[in-house]
Protein backbone atom coordinates (compact mmCIF):
# COMPACT_ATOMS: atom_id res chain seq x y z
CA UNK A 1 0.00 0.00 0.00
CA UNK A 2 1.09 3.54 -0.64
CA UNK A 3 1.24 6.16 2.10
CA UNK A 4 -1.69 8.04 0.57
CA UNK A 5 -3.95 4.98 0.74
CA UNK A 6 -3.02 4.37 4.37
CA UNK A 7 -3.76 7.98 5.30
CA UNK A 8 -7.11 7.90 3.51
CA UNK A 9 -8.09 4.65 5.22
CA UNK A 10 -7.14 6.07 8.62
CA UNK A 11 -9.15 9.22 7.95
CA UNK A 12 -12.18 7.22 6.84
CA UNK A 13 -11.89 5.05 9.95
CA UNK A 14 -11.74 8.12 12.21
CA UNK A 15 -14.69 9.75 10.45
CA UNK A 16 -16.73 6.55 10.59
CA UNK A 17 -15.93 6.07 14.27
CA UNK A 18 -16.89 9.67 15.02
CA UNK A 19 -20.11 9.34 13.02
CA UNK A 20 -20.91 6.08 14.77
CA UNK A 21 -20.44 7.73 18.16
CA UNK A 22 -22.72 10.61 17.19
CA UNK A 23 -25.37 8.36 15.60
CA UNK A 24 -25.17 4.89 17.19
CA UNK A 25 -28.77 4.06 16.30
CA UNK A 26 -28.05 4.20 12.57
CA UNK A 27 -25.48 1.41 12.69
CA UNK A 28 -27.46 -0.58 15.25
CA UNK A 29 -26.68 -1.55 18.81
CA UNK A 30 -24.02 -4.13 17.94
CA UNK A 31 -21.28 -1.69 18.98
CA UNK A 32 -23.12 -0.22 21.94
CA UNK A 33 -20.41 -1.08 24.48
CA UNK A 34 -18.34 1.84 25.74
CA UNK A 35 -14.81 0.87 26.67
Q: What pLDDT digit, counting tens, does each position of 3-26 carry?
A: 999 999 999 999 888 877 776 655
- Decide which of 21 and 29 is more confident: 21
**pTM check: above 0.75:** no
d(CA 12, CA 31): 18
Q: Which residue has the higher pLDDT, 16 or 34?
A: 16
Q: Which residues contact 26 (CB under 8 A, 6 or more apart)?
A: 20
pLDDT of residue 27: 54
Q: Would you say residue 32 has pLDDT above 90? A: no
Amino acid sequence: MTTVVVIVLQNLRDIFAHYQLRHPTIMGNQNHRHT
